[in-house]
Amino acid sequence: MNAATNNRRTVVITGASSGIGLALAKAYIERGDNVVGNARSAARLDAAAAQLGNPANFVGVAGDIAEPATAQALFETAIARFGKVDVLINNAGIFNAKPFHTYTPDEVDRLVDTNLKGFFYPSQRAAAHMAANGSGHIVNITAGIAVQPNVKVPAVLPVLVKGGLNSATRALAIELAASGVKVSAVAPGIIETPLHGDYEGTRAFYNTLAPSGTTGTTDDVVDAVLYLTDARFTSGVVLSVDGGASAGTW
């Protein structure tokens, strides 16, 4: 595609093969935007492309998002194919809730790799590229429980990392503001995705985690992300999408 005649935005999405990431890819493609999606395996990306109807404006880049080389490949592919990157959505993440004293070194490493490094390296690429272009949006998918911990869900490790990302979102928004780059976060509560497993056996419990008495859907998160990437005068915010749970539950 000739980048000079392409007026679409180009959106890089990590963790794009399922759940929130796949829903985001679908939403942007339906808008006519280009999407460059990342997942660990090419097979998962091929399956995602098939679900999306194999559109010409979807390109998959497989690789471990914790590796700097994967971030480099994502941006090089996006720029070569579509000319530039307008939006980065750091969606890839894992969630591991358990009593603090039971986390193993392997669990710490896996969560830090995906949730922290998976934000850091793509965002470095985005910051340099977008600042040079004078515009762009970075959106981090964090976690509502990092805004307001819940006694029913012991989760210090993900709260530690996702809470740090909430603070980093604000700090990076300030750092990049003069360059025309906006940085914000969406902090979901319980969203019905494969991340949380089988809902049939746990739905009643999940419904107790927000004062609304309900769980969310991927559409709820998509709506929030689309707002942020369309916004002209919004940056540095952590937007909770959690049925009110961040206001507190008892």
Q: Is the pLDDT of residue 8 over 50?
A: yes
Degrees to nearest 5, angle at CA 10 with 5 and 13: 165
Of the pLDDT bands very low, low, confident and very high (cuts 50, 70, 90), residue 194 is low
pTM: 0.93
Q: Is the pLDDT of residue 154 over 60?
A: yes
Tokens of 68: 């700097």
pLDDT tens for 10-43 read 999 999 999 999 999 999 999 999 999 999 999 9
pLDDT at 201: 64
Distance, CA of 87 to CA of 183 (rounded, Å):
10
Return mean pLDDT, the chain: 93
The domain made up of 3-242 is a member of CATH 3.40.50.460:
no
Distance, CA of 77 to CA of 95 (rounded, Å):
29
Distance, CA of 37 to CA of 13 (rounded, Å):
5
Q: Any bridge partners for residue 182, and if so which?
A: 137
pLDDT at 204: 78
pLDDT tens for 102-152 read 999 999 999 999 999 999 999 999 999 999 999 999 999 999 999 999 999
pLDDT tens for 68-105 read 999 999 999 999 999 999 999 999 999 999 999 999 99
